[in-house]
Amino acid sequence: MCIFCKIIDGEIPSYKVYEDQDVLAFLDISQVTKGHTLVIPKKHYENFVDVDTETMQKVMVVAQDLAKSYMNKLDCTGLNILSNVNEVAGQSVFHFHVHIIPRYHATDDVVIEFKESPEQDLPALQNLLKKD
Ligand code: AMP
Ligand code: ZN
């Protein structure tokens, strides 16, 4: 059983901030910034692309609701909402989760940087990626 399934089952303790039949939210142990929170479905899905639409909606609604209330309850001035997919993107726990990372300063210990990269053929990419 994965570590987050163990948290859901109460085998591993957590600091819950929201719970309903389908969704759980709890404080991330890393606390990269004050209030760093994870929102997860109670059913095990590996990641963002694996989860079914209905569950995704439930998780995101809770994430948005918490995000709104964090903007009031914490002295943060922004948030990062993110979900890592697979190891290459930094996923370390393979149970779908959405990070809520309150932001206080641009220099917080959160590094999400869009560096300069080689130019892309945008029309070709559009052709490849657009949905019919
Ligand atoms: P990710 O790297 O996107 O898969 O994120 C996994 C997150 O889970 C990390 O930010 C960890 O700090 C967090 N984490 C791992 N174990 C626990 C735990 N027992 N309780 C709370 N958060 C955890
Ligand atoms: Zn799990």
Pick the catalytic residue from 44, 95, 97, 105: 97
Using alpha carbons, select from 84, 7, 6, 101 the residue that is nearest to residue 46: 84
- Return the sign of the alpha-carbon dihedral for residues 44, 50, 55, 56: positive
97 catalytic, yes or no?
Answer: yes
Q: How many domains does the chain have?
A: 1
pTM: 0.96
The secondary structure of 42-94 as a DSSP string is SS--SSTTTS-HHHHHHHHHHHHHHHHHHHHHS--SEEEEE---SGGGT--S-
Task: Find the domain containing 39 and state its range.
Answer: 3-129
88-121 pLDDT, tens digit per residue, is 999 999 999 999 999 999 999 999 889 999 999 9
3-40 pLDDT, tens digit per residue, is 999 999 999 999 999 999 999 999 999 999 999 999 99
Half-sphere exposure of 98 (CA within 13 A, CB side): 28
Pocket test for ligand 1, best of 44, 46, 82, 93 (most atoms within 8 A of CB): 93
User: What CATH number is given to the structural domain containing 25?
Assistant: 3.30.428.10
